[in-house]
Amino acid sequence: MLYAISRALVKILGRLLLRLRVIGAEHIPKTGPALIAANHVSYLDIPLLGVMIDRPLHFMGKASLFRGRWVGWLYRKLNGFPIKKGARSRVGLMEAVHRLKQGHCVVMYPEGGRSVSGRLQHPMPGIGMIVAMSGAKVIPVYVAGTDKVLPVGAWMIRIHPVTVLIGEPLDFTEQVRKENGKELYLQISRTVMEQIMKLEAQATGKPVQKIDSVPDAAVKGENN
């Protein structure tokens, strides 16, 4: 009930102020497990994805967001679950696998956190591990405009259009059947990121950027 009410309120405000638009909504399965892999440039990414995707979403967030008594309670009521940094991240990743096996739609960021520069970052292997262990299909998503509405470090919302582009599902069943281990996880992560880059190109009109061409110094981001 809380999720439905929150979603309705954010949707009304988003439509009025941000001219929310979604392209490719038909790629989201109506039932069954689905792992949504999206870029991350603003704290608004999750609530606006929740508005634009017409089924309940489960999402992972940095552990510090869940420390406050009331804020942590709210995040959990809205289907959130924490993930810690480094070696301790496995607990959060396994929670994502568990929820996918229950048939839920889970959102995660292949980059591992918000991009300070706004540019797409190199992917982390975590999404590959989740895919290999859950068998879920991956839905690549690019969110355009939230970095203008609420940039990193800002607290005041600005008026700017937001568009969500949803790509076709990616199925790694055959690849997982033939391979395993960290190299498989990295390959899956890179493939997913390449699809998000194609969606970025569709949204911005710029050429598709290859992962190897992204300079490390330009894509440093926060792990949150």
Q: What is the DSSP string of 64-126?
A: GGG-SHHHHHHHHHTTEEEE-SGGGGHHHHHHHHHHHHTT-EEEE-TTSS-BSSSS--PPPTH
pLDDT of residue 38: 95
pTM above the 0.75 mark?
Answer: yes
Q: Do 38 and 45 meet the contact criterion of CB atoms below 8 Å apart?
A: yes
Task: For the chain, list the domains and their CATH numbers.
Answer: 18-218 (3.40.1130.10)
**Residue 68: alpha-carbon gap to chain centroid:** 23
Separation CA 161–CA 149 (nearest Å): 8
User: In this predicted model, what pLDDT tens digit does every residue of 9-45 receive, in sequence order?
Assistant: 888 888 888 889 999 999 999 999 999 999 999 989 9
Mean pLDDT calculated for residue range 42-62: 89
